[in-house]
Amino acid sequence: MSALSAALKPSAPGWQRRLYTIIFEADTPAGKCFDVCLLVAIVLSVLTVVLDSVASIRAQWGGVFTALEWGFTLLFTAEYIVRIACVARPWRYITSPLGLIDLLSILPTYMGLFLPQSIYLTDIRVLRLLRVFRVLKLAGYLNASSAITQALAASRRKIMIFIYVMLMMAIVLGTLMFVIEGEANGFTSIPRGIYWAIVTLTTLGYGDLTPKTGLGQGLAALVTLMGYGILAVPTGIVSAEFARVRDDEKQLLRRCGACDSADHDGDARFCKACGSNLPAATPR
């Protein structure tokens, strides 16, 4: 059980506990049925938003889409209110990432009602698709997600230095290309040359701005080759930090004393092979 689930779950038996078990957990037939129904509603609501954005389809079925949208919005609103009512700490749920996604899934429709000029903002209703993560209980993969987040956080200074070096290279290369090609070949300013350098270094190569002189083309070829090597740098930085984080996590993995099975999660209480009690987690 995650820290958030432990904080939200009502401690005393009663209607809140029963509702919580159905809505937040999928270990019971009622909970599984609720999740399946919610998944169907989410997919259909997102499909409605997508189809409504097509002008030809909206012209023919606009009224149906509007009715469906309000139906889904009222359904998700009722679900959101029930979620708040059945948790032990409502504010903790409201401010949690999943709670904010739940709120954003219903807010745009109401904003479109009171603020007609925000019609394009209502398209963020596709955020409802993120709620599938809750329904499919992908929280079981949160440990891996947390490891990636930690790796990115640990890499931020190195990545910032890398970005700084890239910007310096783009400025120098863009200036050189401006001097070599000049305005006659489309490099009308140094910022224009910097734009070309960034596009070329990242190997995007839009093709809207290309060198015409032999010297400029030679420099472009060199920059392109540099770009392929440069792109590997941030990948290596993050990969190294990710490996370090995973290695640290493995220090908490336990070995079963009954069957000698290893690689149990840090919060596991029983052996995944034989079901015996596991020893307390201790660093290796």
pLDDT tens for each residue of 1-58? 456 666 778 877 788 888 888 888 766 788 888 888 888 998 898 888 888 888 899 8
Question: Of all residues in the chain, what percent carry a pLDDT higher than 90?
Answer: 27
Query: What was the pLDDT predicted at 250?
Result: 57
Average pLDDT score over the chain: 81
Residues 39 and 99 in one domain: yes
Residues 10 and 119 in one domain: yes
* Banded pLDDT at 284 (limits 50, 70, 90): very low
Q: Which two tokens mark 6?
A: 């432990």
Residues 151 and 66 in one domain: no
CATH code of the domain covering residue 92: 1.20.120.350
Inside any domain, residue 247: no
Q: Which two tokens mark 143?
A: 């440990």
207/204 Cα distance (integer angstroms): 9
Q: Which two tokens mark 190?
A: 């140094």
Helix (H) or strand (E) holding 67: helix 55-86
Contact 268, 254 (CB under 8 A): yes
Per the structure, how many domains does the chain have?
3
* Banded pLDDT at 82 (limits 50, 70, 90): very high
Residue with tokens 């259909």: 44
* Banded pLDDT at 283 (limits 50, 70, 90): very low
| DSSP assignment letter at 25 | -
Inside any domain, residue 52: yes
SS3 assignment for 194-229 = HHHHHHHHCCCCCCCCCCCCHHHHHHHHHHHHHHHH
Give the closest residue to 44 by CA, choosing from 80, 73, 9.
73
Q: Which two tokens mark 275?
A: 């079901």
Inside any domain, residue 241: no
Residues 47 and 26 in one domain: yes
Contact 127, 97 (CB under 8 A): no
Q: Which of 136, 169, 203 is the last residue of a domain?
A: 136
More confident position, 92 or 134:
92
Q: Domain of 268? A: 254-284
Query: What was the pLDDT predicted at 23?
Result: 85
- pLDDT per residue over 158-198, tens digit each? 889 989 999 999 999 999 999 999 989 999 999 999 999 99
The CA-based angle 192-219-160, given to 5 degrees, is 65
Residues 86 and 201 in one domain: no
Q: Does position 132 have pLDDT exceeding 80, yes or no?
A: no
